[in-house]
């Protein structure tokens, strides 16, 4: 995004940002890449929240609550634009795994998840232009990581790969290649389910996006 002499912002394609331009309330480059696949013009306006959804035994409730909190924080900064926010959580044995902040945390998470099935949920919250209520979806996927070695864990940490990712890994990581199998939407595990995003954007009357190359649609689509 760049600015004009008249003070208005413009998208990379030259389109003027207005009250109908979708705001992505996330700093995640992966979510931006996925949203761009829908052909929807958007601007990126990240928000910071305290990612504490309280104690809850349901990861879908946690993910949707965090996504809604991000959308509400974004609404305080932008009163008029349509908004989309998301949050991905990794859940194993009743425990929520966040983003590791230091090597020891990353090492512990990758060791805990190795060769095990766990749950990944991405909560998505959408607000209509000028709206205050969120439409929310929270698709779930089951992921099993492979039996990678300690040396592979150390190499991943040395590259800095785990530190901005819930659970310390990314399904699309070409270095560690951590995932052995998954059941659910691939894009959901990356950080933004495209079919759920399409559904929410249409339901909120924001736009009618298409995604001809979405690799995985819901089973009943």
CATH of 2-203, one of 3.30.930.10, 2.60.120.260, 3.40.50.2000, 3.90.950.10: 3.90.950.10
Q: What is the pLDDT of residue 88?
A: 96
Closest by CA to 121, choosing from 89, 166, 84, 169, is 89
Residue 31 reports pLDDT greater than 70: yes
Query: Is 87 tagged catalytic?
Result: yes
pLDDT tens, residue by residue, 17-29: 445 799 999 999 9
Looking at residue 151, what is its pLDDT? 98
> Which range (44-53, 72-81, 212-221) has the least confidence?
212-221
How far apart CA 36 and CA 197 sit, in angstroms, is 12
User: Burial level of 123, CB count in 10 A (0-12/13-18/19+)?
Assistant: buried
Could you give the CA distance from residue 171 to residue 180 in angstroms, rounded to a whole number?
9
Asked whether the CA dihedral 109, 185, 65, 161 is positive or negative, the reply is: positive
- Mean pLDDT calculated for residue range 170-181: 95
Higher pLDDT, 7 or 143: 143
Better pLDDT: 46 or 215: 46
* Banded model confidence at residue 7, pLDDT cuts 50, 70, 90: very low
Cα–Cα distance, 135 to 200 (Å, whole number): 7
- For 197-214, the pLDDT digits (tens) are 999 999 998 988 776 455
Could you give the CA distance from residue 35 to residue 43 in angstroms, rounded to a whole number? Answer: 11
Detail the DSSP E strand segments found in the chain: 2-3, 9-10, 22-24, 42-44, 83-92, 95-97, 117-127, 135-137, 140-145, 179-183
Average pLDDT of the residues in 69-80: 95
Annotated active-site residue in 6, 78, 87, 161: 87
Mean pLDDT of the chain, nearest integer: 87
Q: Which ranges in 9-140 belong to alpha helices (H)?
A: 29-36, 59-77, 103-113
pLDDT > 90 fraction of the chain, expressed in percent and rounded? 77
Q: So what's the pLDDT on residue 146? A: 98
More confident residue, 11 or 129: 129
């Amino acid at each position: 995004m760049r600015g004009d002499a008249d003070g208005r912002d413009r998208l990379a394609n030259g389109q003027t940002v207005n009250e109908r331009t979708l705001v992505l309330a996330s700093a995640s480059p992966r979510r931006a890449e996925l949203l761009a696949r829908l052909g929807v013009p958007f601007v990126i306006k990240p928000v910071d929240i305290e990612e504490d959804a309280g104690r809850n035994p349901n990861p879908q409730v946690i993910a949707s609550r965090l996504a809604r909190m991000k959308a509400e924080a974004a609404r305080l900064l932008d009163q008029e634009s349509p908004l989309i926010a998301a949050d991905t959580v990794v859940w194993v044995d009743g425990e929520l795994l966040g983003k590791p902040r230091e090597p020891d945390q990353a090492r512990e998470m990758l060791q805990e998840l190795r060769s095990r099935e766990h749950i990944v949920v991405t909560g998505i919250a959408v607000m209509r232009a000028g709206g205050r209520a969120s439409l929310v979806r929270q698709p779930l996927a089951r992921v099993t990581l492979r039996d990678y070695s300690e040396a592979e864990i150390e190499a991943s940490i040395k590259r800095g790969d785990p530190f901005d990712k819930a659970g310390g890994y990314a399904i699309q990581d070409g270095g560690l290649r951590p995932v052995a199998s998954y059941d659910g939407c691939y894009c959901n595990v990356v950080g933004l389910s495209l079919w759920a995003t399409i559904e929410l954007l249409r339901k909120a009357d924001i736009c009618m996006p298409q995604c001809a190359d979405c690799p995985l649609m819901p089973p009943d689509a």
